[in-house]
Amino acid sequence: MPESLAPLDRLMSTLAKRAAERPAGSYTTKLLDGGPEAIGAKIREEAEELIEAAGESGDADREHAVYEAGDLIYHTLVLLAWRGISLDEVAAELARREGTSGLAEKASRKTN
Ligand SMILES: N=c1c2ncn([C@@H]3O[C@H](COP(=O)(O)OP(=O)(O)OP(=O)(O)O)[C@@H](O)[C@H]3O)c2ncn1[C@@H]1O[C@H](COP(=O)(O)O)[C@@H](O)[C@H]1O
């Protein structure tokens, strides 16, 4: 894999490979085999841990929040891999939203 690929792209590429090959001895395989219920339970757990860590103050707590964010992002990407969704698709959705305030978007939904 080219060194220039961003870490998130490299991780997603690994997870897509895990989803296709399901090698034994892989934590990702274990999660994927559990399907959206098992992966979703971990996402909820990791989201709670991130929220708790982010609410704490101090340098060590800041590092803790970064660590928990890593866990949450990893498990979220595993769910995308399970569903066969690429990071490019998510990036395209975010690009589509670029420049539109959430408040304006919400207001437009109410009038439609
Ligand atoms: N980025 C990650 C990553 N982040 C977190 N984790 C694992 O996610 C789990 C987090 O769950 P917890 O903190 O709740 O720990 P736990 O209590 O042991 O978890 P449970 O057994 O309760 O589910 C830990 O086992 C972490 O090691 C990850 N596991 C793998 N990766 C990446 O995925 C790649 C492929 O991993 P495998 O498929 O396991 O080879 C690795 O090379 C890494 O790049």
- Of residues 84, 71, 69, the one with CA closest to residue 36: 84
**Can you tell me the ipTM of this complex?**
0.93
Q: CA 66 to CA 9: how far, in whole Å?
A: 19
Residue 9: is it exposed, middle or buried by C-beta count within 10 angstroms (0-12/13-18/19+)? middle
Task: Give dist(CA 94, CA 73) in Å, integer.
Answer: 16
| Contact 26 CB / ligand 1 (< 6 Å) | yes
The rounded Å distance from CA 2 to ligand 1 centre is: 24
pLDDT at 58: 82
Complete domains list, the chain, with CATH: 7-111 (1.10.287.1080)
Residue 31 CA, ligand 1 centroid: distance in Å: 9
Q: What pTM does this model have?
A: 0.91
Q: How many degrees, rounded to 5, is the angle at CA 69 between CA 28 and CA 53?
A: 125
CA-CA-CA-CA torsion for 76, 81, 86, 91, nearest 10 degrees? 0
26 Cα: distance to centroid of ligand 1 (angstroms): 9
pLDDT in tens, the chain (112 residues): 455 559 999 999 999 999 999 999 999 999 999 999 999 999 999 999 999 999 988 888 899 999 999 999 999 999 999 999 999 999 999 999 999 888 888 898 887 6
